[in-house]
Amino acid sequence: MDVLLQQLVNGLILGSLYALVALGYTMVYGILELINFAHGEIVMLGALVSVTVLGVLVAAGVPVPLALLLALAAAVLVCMATGVLVERIAYRPLRNAPRLAPLITAIGVSIVLQNLAMILWGRQYLSFPPVLAPQVYAWHGASVSNVQLLIVAVAALTMGTLLLLVQRTRLGRAMRATAQNREVAGLMGVDVNRVIAATFAVGSALAAVAGLLIASYYGIAHYNMGFLLGLKAFSAAVLGGIGNIPGALLGGLLLGVIESLGAGYIGDLTGGFLGSHYQDIFAFFILILVLIFRPSGLLGERVADRA
């Protein structure tokens, strides 16, 4: 089996998931200059809600494709509502406060959501119902499953839809205008509060999709899964240039590939001293390197003076 090709394939799959989550960070940062540390918990909610709804529906004999769609719809609704509510209750009152206040609030919201999920779902790992019969294809010495292909397809479709929304619609133009100059957007007749709420709703919908896909990728969901995932996706957003949407896509994919390659080769590199379970260090190693050498990220232009 070709290790390099296999790790590249794994990396792109994982990276497409990071990219979905990173988009949520970058959209909110772009419009509010706020690092929404609670975003990882929204992904976690999406995973738990979709796993739960899927389990109930499948047990009730609902056909799998329909059950998957309904589970996704439920996750999207719950995540959007939570995201919008968090913005309204926790962030909007601090809109004009010093930058540190909403940042600490975001960490607080993250802890609240985690504990809420622990109370609702318990501490145990929920397993993703085995609704998709895995079928593995071999390709030039690497293997990829139908489930993985479906994950990449859904992630790509979701991101394509987001790009269309941001680039081609009236709401997308209002979002970009608000991100570039909130005051002047108001002068144009844009209800800035609604556009900011819509940004949280869209980012949370992406998080819901990511939650379902990540639960199916790893086969489990857990109240604590959002934390590390959120940090990694945030690193991906910074790597690409936070606030920059193509940057989040690029950063997510790159981080996934780097992490997979790292996991595949770390044993060889360190003479067996570190095993593949140290793969998580790569995300943060990259984050540190980016912050030192290119603080505005690969595609970012204007962050250095703001963050």
Partner 1 sequence: MSLIEVEGLAVHYGGIRAVKGIDLRVEEGEVVCLIGANGAGKTSSMRALAGLLPAAAGTIRYAGTDITALPVHLRARRGISMVPEGRGVFPRLTVAENLRMGAYFRTDSAGIAADLERVYGLFPRLRERRAQTGGTLSGGEQQMLAIARALMSRPRLLLLDEPSMGLAPLAVQTIFETIRLIAAQGMTLLLIEQNARLALESSSRGYVLEGGRIVHQDDSTALLASPKVRAAYLGA
Establish if 270 lies at the interface with partner 1 (CB under 8 A). Answer: no
Establish if 173 lies at the interface with partner 1 (CB under 8 A). Answer: yes
Question: Where do runs of H (alpha helix) occur along the chain?
Answer: 3-32, 39-59, 64-86, 100-121, 146-168, 170-180, 182-187, 192-218, 225-240, 245-269, 280-293
Pick one of 189, 268, 273, 293: the residue that binds partner 1 (CB under 8 A): 189
Size of the site for partner 1 (CB under 8 A): 17
Angstrom distance (rounded) from CA 132 to CA 57: 14
Question: Could you tell me which stretch among 11-19, 104-112, 182-190, 259-267 binds partner 1 (CB under 8 A)?
Answer: 182-190
- For 90-145, give the DSSP string: IIGGGTTS-THHHHHHHHHHHHHHHHHHHHHH-SSPEEPP--S---EEEETTEEEE
Nearer to partner 1, 99 or 168 (CB): 168
Establish if 163 lies at the interface with partner 1 (CB under 8 A). Answer: no
Establish if 97 lies at the interface with partner 1 (CB under 8 A). Answer: no
Establish if 192 lies at the interface with partner 1 (CB under 8 A). Answer: yes
Q: Coil, strand, or helix at residue 223?
A: coil
Helix or strand holding residue 221 (H, E): strand 220-221
Nearer to partner 1, 176 or 294 (CB): 176
Least separation, in Å, of the C-beta of 186 and partner 1?
Answer: 4
Establish if 245 lies at the interface with partner 1 (CB under 8 A). Answer: no
Establish if 123 lies at the interface with partner 1 (CB under 8 A). Answer: no
Per the structure block, which two tokens stand in for 179?
């991100």
Establish if 93 lies at the interface with partner 1 (CB under 8 A). Answer: no
Angstrom distance (rounded) from CA 86 to CA 80: 10
Pick one of 188, 269, 288, 289: the residue that binds partner 1 (CB under 8 A): 188
Question: Could you tell me which stretch among 77-85, 114-122, 143-151, 188-196 binds partner 1 (CB under 8 A)?
Answer: 188-196
Contact criterion met (CB below 8 Å) for 24 and 192 = no
Question: Could you tell me which stretch among 49-57, 127-135, 170-178, 206-214 binds partner 1 (CB under 8 A)?
Answer: 170-178
Pick one of 17, 190, 238, 286: the residue that binds partner 1 (CB under 8 A): 190
CA atoms within 13 A on the CB side of 160: 6
Using the structure block, give the residue that is written with the tokens 């709401």. 171
Least separation, in Å, of the C-beta of 185 and partner 1?
Answer: 7
Establish if 305 lies at the interface with partner 1 (CB under 8 A). Answer: no
Question: Could you tell me which stretch among 70-78, 92-100, 180-188, 273-281 binds partner 1 (CB under 8 A)?
Answer: 180-188
Establish if 304 lies at the interface with partner 1 (CB under 8 A). Answer: no
Angstrom distance (rounded) from CA 303 to CA 307: 6
Q: Please choose, from the candidates 52, 79, 99, 44, the residue with its C-alpha nearest in 3D space to the C-alpha of residue 211.
A: 44
Question: Could you tell me which stretch among 40-48, 100-108, 169-177, 259-267 binds partner 1 (CB under 8 A)?
Answer: 169-177
Exposure class string for 256-270: b at 16+ Cβ within 10 A, else e = bbbbbbbbbebeeee
Establish if 58 lies at the interface with partner 1 (CB under 8 A). Answer: no
Could you list the residues that contact partner 1 (CB under 8 A)?
A: 170, 173-174, 176-177, 180-181, 183-192
